């Protein structure tokens, strides 16, 4: 028997063992060890790899929060299938001739999950707090204020016109979620302590490290417009959604094949054939960039030469291969935007993308003053592709004489550590392709996003992009921005990649649009 056949046999036997274990010992929402209560067509069971540290999407850019939170929360505006801004909780909006005032007419009769009607005071409290926390608003909305006109009308008064304000309000990375005013007032810096929104599902229970339970909002008032992207009609077609925290990739895969889960967010790249052979569906989708983020506030990488040394040391293809296993799931690409985003895409700076020059890397490292100190890379097995990318990077940096240590945490703990500038030098993360450059939190110095970019030229270019009325001019400025990113290296874009979701053949309507869309989704018997 050939070795490939032997390995395939071992893989299948191993999966059968994991499936049998997963099926017999699954934890139910009641903690009884039986998942039967969440197994009928009125429930949707979703497996995701990381535990969120909060379900308040206004205080973090972490997808572990953003993905489940969108079941509960909505914003004034959102994005349609063409990534154009459209009204959501706003009935309409109007921009003044001078571009300095945006007037929003609120939908009347919208109820929060606690039964209270959504009014202007709630919206202003929510958006003021979001503006204080969002990494996107520090420059574009600096000096702006929200003004109540009446209970169903508010104005956003800008200090200067901007062509991208509405896109920032529709951002899904750090959602401008609308909550009751009293919830906002009771919130602390780590987030709201009660989860009450206007969305099609309501928060019910959170069992740490096990699951989050959402229930159908029977009083939900949907937009009546046709479905388009994240906009239009929403309907809760199941009574319950159980959002399971399942860090182990093999357990997620096995759970999908056994029927333990209906939807799995983030499948291992080598499991696709096996999953599809059992009748389940897989859905690869273009995600965005795998990025290496430098700590530029403390330590070695405050020196641009040290950052450049890493860029010359890394073979990006080797890192991508380690992280994503097959070239059909990744792309060697220098752009901040994917080539499909023709309104922003440019290949400017590509000469610095994958230079692979070890001699130059060693010389730059020497010039940076590196003296053998330990370099700490934060990583997590909760996102196995980040973990594998970190290992490949460690090996290559050791090849130019650096002493590198991986510190491995669960994702929620990693988020805490990456906010502490004294605890690391590098971390890996992914960034979904943005709608506008400002949505990349690692660019704007004012955002103070972990890694702490501090580049006056990048800040000036972002401001110019935000204030220019012409998309052609904005794209030209974005090309300058990208060149500066590759010169200064606040991050290293390793390349573009695809994620893979999986779902049961009993599931209808599942989509991924800047995150999983679980409304308008049904499960058959």
**259 and 300 assigned to the same domain:** no
**214 and 321 assigned to the same domain:** no
Does residue 55 form part of some domain?
Answer: no
Does residue 458 form part of some domain?
Answer: yes
**245 and 290 assigned to the same domain:** no
CA 61 to chain centre: 6
Mean pLDDT over each residue of the chain, to the nearest integer: 91
Q: What CATH number does residue 115 fall under?
A: 3.90.76.10
**pLDDT at 40 (0 to 100):** 59
Q: What CATH number does residue 470 fall under?
A: 3.10.105.10
Residues 124-157 pLDDT 10s = 999 999 999 987 787 788 889 999 999 999 999 9
Q: What CATH number does residue 272 fall under?
A: 3.40.190.10
Report the number of distinct structural domains present in the chain: 3
**332 and 299 assigned to the same domain:** yes
Q: Give the residue-averaged pLDDT of 88-99.
A: 96
Q: Which residue has the higher pLDDT, 355 or 32?
A: 355
pLDDT category of residue 41 using cuts at 50, 70 and 90: low
Q: What is the largest CA-CA distance in the chain?
A: 78
Does residue 199 form part of some domain?
Answer: no
**250 and 381 assigned to the same domain:** no
**256 and 311 assigned to the same domain:** no
b vs e for 231-267, b when ≥16 Cβ sit within 10 Å of the residue's Cβ? bbebebbbebbbbbbbbbbbbbbbbbbbbbbbbbbbb
Residue 11, pLDDT > 70, answer: no
Task: Assess contact for 131 and 137: CB atoms under 8 A.
Answer: yes
Does residue 464 form part of some domain?
Answer: yes
Does residue 273 form part of some domain?
Answer: yes
CA 310 to chain centre: 25
Does residue 486 form part of some domain?
Answer: yes
**168 and 232 assigned to the same domain:** no
Tokens of 333: 């690409």
Closest CA relative to residue 437, chosen from 454, 461, 453: 461
**pLDDT at 128 (0 to 100):** 97
Q: Which domain holds residue 365?
A: 286-499
Give percent above pLDDT 90 in the chain.
81
Does residue 101 form part of some domain?
Answer: yes
**146 and 248 assigned to the same domain:** no
Q: Which of 41-45, 292-296, 414-418, 504-508 has the lowest mean pLDDT?
A: 41-45
**pLDDT at 321 (0 to 100):** 97
Could you give the 3-state DSSP secondary structure of residue 115? coil
**pLDDT at 21 (0 to 100):** 43
**333 and 471 assigned to the same domain:** yes
**245 and 333 assigned to the same domain:** no
Q: Exposure of 371 by Cβ count < 10 A (0-12 exposed, 13-18 middle, 19+ buried)?
A: exposed
**155 and 35 assigned to the same domain:** no
Q: Helices marked H in 108-259 — which ranges?
A: 120-133, 137-140, 165-169, 181-186, 249-258
Does residue 116 form part of some domain?
Answer: yes
Cβ contacts of residue 217 below 8 Å, gap of 6+? Answer: 113, 199, 200, 201, 202, 236
**423 and 483 assigned to the same domain:** yes
Residues 262-277 pLDDT 10s = 999 999 888 999 999 9
**pLDDT at 23 (0 to 100):** 36
Q: Of 186, 213, 246, which residue sits at a domain end?
A: 186
**pLDDT at 160 (0 to 100):** 87
């Amino acid at each position: 028997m050939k070795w490939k056949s032997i390995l395939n046999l071992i893989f299948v036997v191993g999966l059968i063992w994991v499936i049998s274990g997963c099926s017999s010992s699954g934890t139910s929402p009641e903690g009884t060890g039986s998942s039967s209560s969440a197994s009928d067509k009125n429930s949707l069971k979703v497996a995701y790899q990381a535990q969120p540290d909060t379900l308040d999407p206004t205080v973090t850019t972490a997808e572990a929060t953003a993905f489940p939170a969108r079941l509960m929360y909505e914003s004034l505006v959102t994005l349609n299938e063409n990534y154009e801004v459209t009204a959501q909780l706003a009935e309409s909006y109007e921009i003044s001739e001078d571009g300095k005032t945006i007037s929003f007419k609120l939908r009347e009769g919208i109820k929060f999950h606690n039964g209270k009607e959504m009014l202007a005071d709630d919206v202003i409290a929510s958006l003021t707090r979001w503006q204080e926390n969002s990494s996107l608003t520090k420059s574009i909305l600096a000096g702006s204020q929200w003004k109540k006109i009446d209970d169903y009308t508010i104005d956003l008064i800008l200090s200067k016109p901007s062509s991208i304000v509405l896109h920032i309000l529709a951002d899904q990375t750090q959602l401008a979620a609308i909550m009751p005013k009293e919830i906002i007032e009771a919130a602390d810096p780590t987030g709201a302590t009660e989860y009450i929104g206007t969305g099609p599902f309501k928060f019910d229970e959170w069992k740490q490290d096990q699951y989050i339970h959402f229930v159908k909002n029977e009083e939900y008032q949907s937009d009546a417009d046709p479905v388009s992207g994240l906009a239009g009609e929403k309907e809760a077609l199941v009574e319950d959604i159980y959002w399971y925290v399942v860090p182990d990739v093999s357990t997620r895969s096995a759970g999908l094949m056994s029927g333990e889960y209906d939807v799995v967010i983030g499948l291992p790249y080598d499991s696709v054939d096996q999953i599809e052979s059992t009748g389940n569906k897989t859905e690869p989708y273009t995600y965005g960039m795998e990025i290496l983020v430098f700590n530029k506030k403390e330590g070695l990488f405050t020196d641009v030469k040290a950052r450049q040394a890493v860029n010359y040391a890394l073979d990006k293809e080797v890192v991508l291969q380690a992280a994503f296993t097959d070239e059909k799931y990744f792309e060697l690409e220098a752009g901040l935007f994917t080539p499909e985003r023709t309104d922003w895409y440019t290949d400017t700076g590509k000469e610095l993308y994958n230079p692979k020059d070890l001699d130059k890397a060693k010389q730059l490292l020497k010039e940076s003053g590196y003296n053998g100190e330990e370099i700490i890379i934060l990583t997590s097995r909760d996102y196995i592709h980040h973990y594998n990318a970190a290992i490949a990077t460690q090996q290559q940096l050791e090849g130019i004489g650096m002493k590198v240590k991986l510190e491995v945490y669960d994702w929620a703990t990693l988020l805490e550590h990456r906010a502490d500038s004294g605890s690391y030098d590098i971390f890996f993360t992914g960034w979904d392709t943005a709608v506008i450059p400002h949505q990349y939190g690692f660019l704007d110095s004012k955002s103070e996003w972990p890694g702490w970019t501090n580049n006056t030229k990048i800040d000036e270019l972002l401001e110019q992009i935000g204030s220019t009325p012409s998309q052609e001019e904005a794209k030209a400025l974005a090309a300058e921005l990208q060149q500066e990113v590759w010169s200064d290296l606040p991050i290293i874009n390793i390349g573009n990649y695809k994620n893979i979701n999986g779902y049961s053949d009993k599931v209808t309507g599942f989509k991924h649009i800047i995150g999983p869309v679980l409304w308008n989704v049904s499960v058959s018997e």
